[in-house]
Amino acid sequence: MSRHVVVVTAGLTVPSSTRLLADQLAEATSTQVSARGEGLEVAYVELREVAGELAQFMVTGGIATPRLTELRELVATADGLIAVTPVFNASYSGLFKMFFDALDKDSLTGTPVLVAATAGSARHSLVLDHALRPLFAYLRAVVVPTGVFAATEDFGSHGLSDRITRAAAELAALVVGQGGYGVGGFAPDLAARPRRTSGTRVEADVTPFGDLLRGHAGSD
Mean pLDDT of 57-68: 96
Q: Residue 67, Cα to own-chain centre: how many angstroms?
A: 17
Does the residue 53 lie in any domain?
yes
Is pLDDT above 80 for 152? yes
How many domains does one find in the chain?
Answer: 1
Answer whether residue 219 is part of any domain: no
Q: Which residue has the higher pLDDT, 75 or 203?
A: 75
Please provide the DSSP assignment of 96-140 as one string: HHHHHHSS-TTTTTT-EEEEEEEESSGGGTTHIIIIIHHHHHHTT
Is the pTM higher than 0.75? The answer reads yes
Would you state the pLDDT for residue 92? 97
Model confidence at 196: pLDDT above 70: no
- Give CA separation, 197 vs 53, 70, 203, in Å: 21, 13, 10
- Residue 200 maps to a domain: yes
More confident residue, 135 or 192: 135
Question: Rounded mean pLDDT of 177-201?
Answer: 50
CB–CB of 113/174 below 8 Å?
no
CATH of the domain at 72: 3.40.50.360
Above 50 in pLDDT, residue 185? no
Per the structure, the complete domain to which residue 95 belongs is given by: 2-213
Per DSSP, the chain holds a count of helices (H) and strands (E) of 8, 7
Q: Is 220 a domain residue?
A: no
In this structure, is residue 16 part of a structural domain? yes
pLDDT at 84 over 70: yes
User: How far is the C-alpha of 73 from the C-alpha of 85, rounded, in Å?
Assistant: 21
Tens of pLDDT along 89-138? 999 999 999 999 999 999 999 999 999 999 999 999 999 999 999 999 99
- % of the chain surpassing 90 pLDDT: 79
Residue 188, pLDDT above cutoff 50: no
Residue 26 lies in a domain: yes
- Report residue 1's pLDDT band, with 50, 70 and 90 as the boundaries: confident
Query: pLDDT averaged over the chain?
Result: 88
Model confidence band, residue 44 (pLDDT cutoffs 50, 70, 90): very high
- Per-residue pLDDT at 183: 45
Beta strands in the chain (DSSP E): 2-9, 39-46, 80-88, 91-92, 112-119, 142-143, 148-151
Residue 201 lies in a domain: yes
Q: Is residue 218 part of a domain?
A: no
Q: Report angle CA 204, 205, 206 to the nearest 5 degrees.
A: 95
pLDDT grade, residue 182 (50/70/90)?
very low
CA nearest to 126, candidates 157, 92, 159: 92
pLDDT for 181: 45
Give yes or no for residue 193 having a pLDDT over 60.
Answer: no
DSSP tag of 149? E
